[in-house]
A = this chain, B = another copy of it.
Amino acid sequence: MPKINKTKYAILGILNLKPSSGYDIKKYCDLSFSHYWNENFGSIYPMLKRMEMEGLVNKKTEQNEGKPSRIIYSITEKGKSEFYEWMLTPTEEKSTRRERLLKLAFANPREENNREIIMEMFERQKAVIQQKLDEYLQIENDIAMDDPLTETNGISLRVIALRCLIAESRAQIQWCEESVEAIKNMKSKSKNGRTS
């Protein structure tokens, strides 16, 4: 299965909300889902051109006196159908490179003095994750504050997306704690037990 350029879908998704310029798209990304998605001008502008040639979007130059002219793209029917198809495709988030786990795999707890290093590793990792978690919780709080709709009309999808990151972070923190305990036990056991 080939790697597919997802910038296309991000753009389609935003244009499906409303016609926008490349600049708008970038702004929207930064503002609305910076914690789990990123786009750069270097990807957006060339992709928009490509998408126009593929008939996924329509182009319209907006001439504004005074202000610089903007190129507004809108999604076509073809673009919409491609977008909805993508939306319903189950996402396989390939984690081919998880640095944290790789590091762990290289640690060797059989050697006595290494255990301290490994426990230190976990503590440091935990601190990084905790910091992220605090950040997410802060944002969750902010959203609830400035969007009273969430109370009367249920929670927003922005919050739901954020809660995935929150749930994952919490799971990771717990995993760090459990792992430290497991390594501690390993240590005490090898003292009066056997050593390979």
Which residues A101-130 have CB closer than 8 A to chain B? 101-109, 117-118, 120-121, 124-125, 127-128
Complex CA–CA separation, A179 to B90 (angstroms): 16
Instruction: For the A-B complex with A37-B98, A154-B182, A155-B186 known, give 15 more contacts whose Cβ atoms are closer than 8 Å.
Output: A6-B97, A36-B97, A36-B105, A37-B97, A86-B103, A91-B103, A101-B165, A105-B158, A107-B157, A108-B157, A118-B157, A153-B186, A153-B189, A154-B183, A168-B168
Select one of B93, B189, B193 contacting A98, CB under 8 A.
B93
With A175-B167, A183-B154: A161-B101 Cβ-Cβ less than 8 Å: yes
Q: Specify the main secondary structure of chain A where it touches its partner.
A: helix
What is the bound-complex CA distance between A92 and B131, given in angstroms?
11
Q: How far is the CA of A57 from the CA of B98 in the complex (A)?
A: 24
Q: What string of 1s and 0s marks CB contacts (under 8 Å) between A149-193 and chain B?
A: 100111101101101110110111011001100110111011001
Whether B183 lies near A128 (C-beta < 8 A) is: no
A172 touches B168 (CB 8 A): yes
Number of this chain's copies in the assembly equals 2
Q: Is A87 an interface residue (CB 8 A)?
A: yes
